[in-house]
A = this chain, B = another copy of it.
Amino acid sequence: MEDCIAKGVKVAHFFTAGFSETGEPERAELEREVLAIAKRGGIRLIGPNCMGVYCPEAGLTFSEAFPREAGSVGMISQSGTNASEFTNRGMLRGLRFSKVVSFGNAADVNAAELFDYLAWDPKTELIAAYLEGVRDARPLFESLRRAAARKPVLILKGGRTEAGSRATASHTSSLAGNDILWDALCRQVGAIRVNSVEEMVDLAVTFRFLRPPQGPRVALLAGGGGISVLSTDEIASAGLQVPPLSDQTRQALRDMVPLAGHSIRNPLDASPLLESRHFAQAYEAIVSSDNIDLLMVMGGGFGPPGTDGDDRTQVILDTIRQKPIKPTAFIVRYGATSREGRAAHDMTDRLIEAGMPAYHSVAGAARAIDRYLRFLRMRNGVTATA
């Protein structure tokens, strides 16, 4: 440490543990000592009990697996594993990052300062945060308010239950605080609270890749009756709507879909509409409907090239890019087998390359899109409706 001071180091991050989070007095004392030395030498400390900083633009990382390419998502995390989890899962969904900061016990640099930093960082367009607790609530509240006024902020709070809260004490020596207070805090400043890393990734993907829908009315294009029914239940339960299609729209689709084994109501249990010869016409008929705000396309039916050599996926993607009439979201469900898992990965990659929002479950997509719509309504000053 003394050596760092002599060399004029400005910031040190402690990719290490064994300090105040252990609950041992002598370890907590060690943390205070390190901090005092750093303060004397004018060094800012990130950590301890953290993994530090990933900043691809500066060539800085704490995992070799993270992308070298930079992006617009900023993330701060009191947990190194959750920072990695968000970055690893997010990168496979097309997210790229400006800065990801795992800051552990926050002995010096704290969440409030990091929110302020990302709020004014021109490279960051969306802020995600995993927090376990806070020693000084007022500065955090103020910085969160400033950040949320400038950019969308997603908050994942660890320790929302009593048992989880006990766990945060031994993880980052945090006082987790009352769960209801965190809810109120997020609502008051306009931050979006999520309950899992998966939900956080789904929301970040939505902000990054889904054009803002004008309303909550979904057309669901799927294949399989029972799956369409359950998916419709999930979309409606999340707060979105699946309204009946107009007679005019149904008329336009009728000739493309055999009567038996399909349905051209909404949900559309109608995989033939995803065929290359039909998709452009079907897409236009559906998204031109007055009572539809966005299209959700459920995977499986738009798989690898057909035996006739046509690349069905390419046709679908080209059609949507050439005529982006209404926002379109894709659901690539993971199949049961390992082979299906690889196919789902490949399909997800193609969608991301085309700049499309790709989700892995209908429930996850619907929840994220509903939260996104509520956020847009709030920001536009319109009262939220069901």
Contacts and interface: CB of A to CB of B under 8 A. Distances in A.
A135 interface: no
Counting chain A residues whose Cβ lies within 8 A of the other chain, the interface size class is 35 or more
A383 interface: no
A230 B18 contact: no
A228 B164 CA distance: 8
Nearest to A345: B338
A131 to B, nearest CB: 10
A146 interface: no
Contact of A261 (B17, B228, B235, B335): B17
The CB with the most chain B CB atoms within 10 A, among A85, A167, A261, A363, is that of A167
Interface in A304-357: 334-338, 341-342, 345
Nearest to A258: B18
Interface in A203-223: none
Contacts of A77: 226
B171 A236 contact: no
B229 A197 contact: no
Interface stretch (A33-41, A119-127, A155-163, A276-284): A155-163
Given A88-B336, A230-B158, A18 B345 contact: no
A224 B81 contact: yes
The CB with the most chain B CB atoms within 10 A, among A49, A77, A341, is that of A341
A161 B230 contact: no
Nearest to A236: B161
B336 A89 contact: yes
Nearest to A218: B163
Interface string A118-142: 0000000000001010000000000
Given A17-B260, A82-B226, A161 B345 contact: no
A161 B366 CA distance: 14
Contacts of A16: 260
A260 B22 contact: yes
A246 interface: no
Contact of A233 (B21, B161, B230, B337): B161
Interface in A57-81: 77-81
A348 to B, nearest CB: 10
Interface of A: 16-18, 21-22, 24, 27, 49, 77-83, 85, 88-89, 91-92, 130, 132, 156, 158-164, 166-168, 170-172, 195-197, 224-230, 232-237, 241-244, 258-261, 263, 265-267, 269, 334-338, 341-342, 345, 363
Q: Which 10 A-B pairs have the closest CB atoms?
A: A79-B226, A18-B260, A82-B226, A161-B236, A81-B224, A164-B233, A17-B261, A171-B225, A158-B229, A163-B242
